[in-house]
Amino acid sequence: MKVTINDVAKLAGVSMKTVSRVINKEPSVRKKTFDIVMDAVKELNYQPNLAARNLAGTSSFTVGLVYDNPNAYYVIDMQNGVLSRCKEEGYELVIHPCSYTDSQMEEEFITMIKRSRLAGLVLTPPLSEHSKITNLLDELKIHYVRVLSGRPTDDDQDTCIYVNDYKAAYEITTHLLKHGHTNIGFICGDKEHKSTSERLEGYKAALVDFDTPLNAAFLYDGKYSFESGVEGAKALLKDNNELAITAILGGNDEVAAGALFASRLMGIQIPEQLSITGFEDSPFSRQTWPKLTTAHQANDVISQHAARLLFTKTRGARNQDKEIITSFTPSIVIRESSGPKQ
C-alpha cells in the first residue's frame, strides 16, 4: 500500500499541514519538528508527488540547469552535482542546452521558464557571463546563481560561484618554469569563455614573476577542442626544428590531448623533448599516454554549492546554516606529461 502524507503525520505526531511545511522546506519550521518529521519520512520511505506539489500552489519545486558547452564531461559533472542537491531538497531538475549566439535566446529562456514553472536557474559559462541573460532574469524576477571563471567580488557573493582559473594557470606555468622551461607555448580556448582570458592572464603573470619575456609567437588562438589542440601544436612547432618551445600549456585537457597527439606524430618525445599540460582534469587527461599534468576542477562539487546557494535564495534551504563555498581554485595534478627541460 502506498504511504501517504497522513501516515507520516500519524507517525510523527503532527498535523498533515506541518508535514507539508517540512517537505516544502519552509525555513520557519523548528529544527526539532523538522527532524521528527524527516525521521518519519525516512522510516516510511515516503515519496512526495513533486508534480502534485507544483500544481497545488504558487510555489515551484523545479529548478533548471542551463548550459552551452561542447564538453560532455563538464555537462555531466555539473548535472550530477546539481541533481544530488535537488534530491536532498525535494526539487526536480530541468536540464536545458541553449546557444548564447542564438538570436532567439531570450524568447527561448522565457518559454522554458514559463513551461517548466522554474523556481530558479543555475547558469554555466559562457551563458553565465552575459549581462543580457541576467538582466532578463532580473526582469522576470527569477532567482539564479552563476558559475563563473574569475575572482570573487563583494557585489556578487550572493549570486556567483567563482572558479579561480587565473591562480590555477599561474601555478601550472610556475610548475613548468621551475623545471627550466622558459619558452612555453599557450593554446587558448574559445574567446567567448572568460576562463580563456583568466587562464591566459595567469600564464602571463607567472612569466612576469619569473622574469621571463612573453613571446607573442608562442600564443595560439584556438578553441576548447581536441582538433584545436592538434592544429595549435602543429602551428607552434612546425618551424621549431631545434625545439625552441619546450613546453605547451593547453587551454583545457581536450586541447592538451590534441597537442600531445600532434607532437607524437611529429616524432617529438613527451616529456623528454616537450612537456604538455592541460586544465580541468577531465577523462581526457587520463586517457592519453603519457597521462597529462593538469588542474583538477571539481565540477560536481562546484555545482553542488551552486545549487545550495540557489536554494537559499528560492526556498530557504535548511542547510543554510552550513558554509557555502563561493570560490574554488583548481588544484594542480602532476603526471607524466611534464618534466624537467632536457
pLDDT digits (tens, 9 = 90+) for 104-127: 777 877 888 877 788 889 999 988
Integer CA distances (angstroms), 60 to 81, 156, 207, 342, in order: 20, 25, 50, 61
Q: pLDDT higher for 182 or 44? A: 182
- pLDDT for 227 beyond 50: yes
pLDDT at 14: 85
At 342, is the pLDDT very low, low, confident or very high (cuts 50, 70, 90)?
confident
C-alpha cell at 218: 608562442
Residues of the chain with CATH 3.40.50.2300: 56-163+298-328, 165-297
pLDDT at 46: 81
What's the average model confidence in pLDDT over 148-164? 81
Cα 300 to Cα 307: distance, rounded to the nearest angstrom: 11
pLDDT at 11: 87
Question: What's the CATH superfamily of 5-48?
Answer: lambda repressor-like DNA-binding domains (1.10.260.40)
At 55, is the pLDDT very low, low, confident or very high (cuts 50, 70, 90)?
very low
Q: Among all chains, which residue has been given the C-alpha cell 519545486?
A: 61
Residues of the chain with CATH 1.10.260.40: 5-48
pLDDT at 198: 96
Integer CA distances (angstroms), 36 to 9, 39, 53, 276, in order: 10, 5, 21, 55
At 317, is the pLDDT very low, low, confident or very high (cuts 50, 70, 90)?
low
Could you give the residue ranges of the DSSP H alpha helices within 92-179? 105-116, 131-140, 165-178
User: Do 337 and 275 touch, CB atoms closer than 8 A?
Assistant: yes
At 21, is the pLDDT very low, low, confident or very high (cuts 50, 70, 90)?
confident
What's the average model confidence in pLDDT over 181-187? 97
At 56, is the pLDDT very low, low, confident or very high (cuts 50, 70, 90)?
very low
DSSP conformation class of 273 = T
CATH number of 165-297: 3.40.50.2300
What's the average model confidence in pLDDT over 43-64? 65
pLDDT at 188: 97
CATH number of 56-163+298-328: 3.40.50.2300
- pLDDT for 102 beyond 90: no
- pLDDT for 321 beyond 50: no
Could you give the residue ranges of the DSSP H alpha helices within 91-225? 105-116, 131-140, 165-178, 194-209
Predicted model pTM? 0.80
Cα 275 to Cα 253: distance, rounded to the nearest angstrom: 14
